[in-house]
Chain A
Amino acid sequence: MPDADIDIAVENEKDYTGSKIGMWLFLFTEMLLFGGMFLLYSVYRSIHPQDFHNGASELSIMIGTVNTIILITSSLTMAISISATQKGSRNLSTIFLALTIILGLLFLANKCFEWGDKFHHGIYPNSAELLKDSSGKVLFYGLYFVMTGLHGLHVLVGVILLSVMLILVINGKNNRKDYIKLENSGLYWHFVDIIWIFIFPLFYLIT
């Protein structure tokens, strides 16, 4: 029985509830990963409220807002793509999935501009410019770079994941009867979106 264990894997993957439980459990771990940083944020913010206020006013609300809109829209296109697959419309699903990927890339491009601008002004971890400032500011930017960086990394992973899904949708491996991979990837994408929904106000809006 050379393929015995593969059969079991296939058999299990048909159990959608089980696969989804697995995905949700994974998302819990992701939540706690970011949770550790939100914890650091809240402690340092309560120690240095003024510096965090000043730091926030130096970030571009414009770029932040645009990125928020981009990500929320991408969650919508993701959901539409899944619905389209469920209803059996492969073309529609392909288009909206591709759109989601493009929006994800747009987000990352925007992020690059934003970081690049800060680098240009000499603000990056361990930079001489930043270390001249108060320690609260150092911590604010430390958290800013780490949290948006880790989030950006998650977006990048999401884009790669969705690109794989795009192939699976185009070649019909994800279809009306079997779309659990696409749906789980969608859950991941929404999760990345939600993390941003918290990062955005904490760094850009609350001043």
Chain B
Amino acid sequence: MNFLEEKGRYRGIFAWIFSTNHKRVGLLYLVSMLAVFSAGVILGLLMRLELIAPGQTIVTARAYNSLFTFHGILMIFLFVIPGLSASFGNFFLPIQIGARDVFFPRLNLLSWWLFISGAILLLVSLFTKDGPADTGWTFYVPYSIRTGTNVSLTLFAILLIGFSSILTGLNFVTTVHRLRAPGMKWFRLPLFVWSLYATGWVQILATPILGITFLLVIAERFFGIGLFDPARGGDPLLYQHLFWIYSHPAVYIMILPPMGVISEIIPTFARRTIFGYKPIVFSSLAIAIVGYLVWGHHMFTSGMSDTAKFIFSLLTFFVAIPSGIKVFNWVATLYKGSIELGTPLLYALSFIFLFSIGGLTGLVNGALATNVHIHDTYFIVAHFHYTMFGGAAFGFFGALHYWFPKMFGRMYNEKFAKLGWLILFIGFNVLFFPMFILGWQGLPRRYYDYLPQFQTGQVISTIGSWLLAAGIILIFTNLIRSIIHGEKAGKNPWGGTTLEWQIPSPPPPENFEEIPLVEHGPYDFGRKG
């Protein structure tokens, strides 16, 4: 019997939404997040369609503002931030450390309930009061205080989702500390677990700042306290500081787990132990720590002292070092490996390629002089889509293909999966690469209209968005079809060495009949057996 067939106290959908089994909670997250992701893609497609020609094409300026606001909210707060850790993390963290569940199973279910309540409230906020928020996902004051749109409910929904993120982080950190199987020493942990551990700390220590900031904006809207209101002596810049004190570390909440997945996929498909295990571990921790101290680079043009700018810029460059360490280690792992070019590896390789472009253009943003030139242009939009979509989402799709056989016990169609990847990869680059050029030429972001000289780039980009959507549809169709019609996968289709590959697919309800005894590191391919 596996966890999908297990009979609990409840039937039907209740057997899922009231289950505290970490694998079911993980799948609940996965399904809800893929739904959110699809909604976000549709909003993105609408934006791209609006931008196919100058002037008003399909939506009004106000509707366009709401489109990019909700595209941002859905993709950032509901997809990439909880993303890999809440779905695959929930599913595989306990298995990879040799445990039967997370440390607080009921809290785990609660965190999904908070997440889904937040999502429902967001939906409600679209149709109530004076329409959907139009502030952008950053909710900068004073506009977010003044606008008549339904900002308060939106912020409250995000608060709930933030709380769910805190609970997930807290749960994972405790789980890693307390539930490792005998012999699973810290430096025998799979790198995905390490990345979740680092992420958990960031979730715990950064998210409350966002909580208090949004609470204050809500209070500002209801009671007119004045803390962020320049008319009453408040300082809007302080809002920006508080917002980015969370939202920059959040970038690492988004990117660390995908980096962990890449560190799993590459050794498995190169049949080699990972090159530089400890440097990868410490670079995860370094990214988590230094990532805290760089928030000011979002505000170089907002008004800060030159000393502050200099320090923030310098620290921003420091983050590039651990990220670089990881990239070199991944590439070195491939060297002289016995490479099998499966779909997960294709995603891992495109992650390295796209994330490198995103990371290096990040340094262009982080340098003070160039930042002034490209601030708030499409260059920024291209940059963070290369890191967030090219990085985090490609990592997510990689994880989806890598662990799909384990979760459902079936293989997907490899040919369609590769074709889907190819279309997605091409579509992604056609969609976002022109934005680097447009931004460099001075096209500002967040407007529904633009000057005619930018149209060529915009049209190419919009065509790219259709390709990308086609790729996503193909990928999803292939996977959904394979849940029912795929061939049986067996317990270790890729020849992986971490613990999840030692148990049946799909895993039994309690993962292990007997808690395993761990005697060697995670990527010991020499042992084979």
User: Contact residues of A with B, CB < 8 Å?
Assistant: 1-6, 8-9, 12, 15, 17-18, 21-22, 25-26, 28-37, 39-40, 43-44, 48, 125-126, 131, 134-136, 138-139, 142-143, 145-146, 150
Contact = CB atoms under 8 A, between A and B. Distances in A.
B225 A146 contact: yes
B212 A125 contact: no
A134 B233 CA distance: 9
Interface string B53-80: 0000000000000000000000000000
B145 to A, nearest CB: 12
Contact of A22 (B174, B238, B509): B174
A34 B223 CA distance: 19
A29 B203 CA distance: 9
Contact of A25 (B204, B213, B226): B204
B509 A1 contact: yes
Given A12-B104, A146-B219, A25 B232 contact: no
Given A9-B105, A138-B226, A32 B205 contact: yes
Interface of B: 6-9, 19-21, 100-101, 103-107, 166, 169-171, 173-174, 177-179, 204-209, 211-213, 215-216, 219, 223-227, 232-235, 238, 242, 245, 509-510
A5 B509 CA distance: 9
A3 B177 CA distance: 25
A139 B226 contact: yes
Nearest to B237: A43
Closest 4 CB pairs of A and B: A135-B233, A126-B224, A18-B178, A36-B212
Contacts of B223: 125-126
A43 B238 CA distance: 9
Contact of A138 (B100, B101, B232, B509): B232
5 contacts: A22-B107, A36-B212, A43-B235, A131-B232, A139-B227
Contacts of A12: 101, 103-105, 178-179
Contacts of B216: 37, 40, 146
A45 to B, nearest CB: 13
Chain B interface main SS type: helix
Contacts of B178: 12, 15, 17-18, 21
Chain A interface main SS type: helix
B283 to A, nearest CB: 23
Given A18-B178, A28-B205, A138 B233 contact: yes
A138 B205 CA distance: 30
Given A2-B8, A126-B224, A145-B225, A40 B238 contact: yes
Given A36-B208, A39-B242, A139 B101 contact: no
B176 to A, nearest CB: 10
Contacts of B209: 32-33, 35-36
Contacts of A34: 212
A19 to B, nearest CB: 8
Contacts of B204: 25, 28-29
A126 B174 CA distance: 43
A143 B234 CA distance: 11
B100 A22 contact: no
Contact of B20 (A9, A18, A43, A134): A9
Contacts of A30: 208
Given A9-B106, A125-B225, 14 more contacts: A1-B6, A12-B101, A12-B179, A21-B174, A25-B170, A32-B205, A32-B206, A36-B208, A36-B209, A36-B212, A134-B233, A139-B226, A142-B225, A146-B227
Contacts of A43: 235, 238
Contacts of B173: 21, 25
A184 to B, nearest CB: 12
B205 A8 contact: no
A135 B229 CA distance: 10
Nearest to A31: B208
Contacts of A26: 170
Nearest to A145: B225
B7 A2 contact: yes
A22 B224 contact: no
B105 A5 contact: yes
A22 B233 CA distance: 40
A18 B234 CA distance: 42
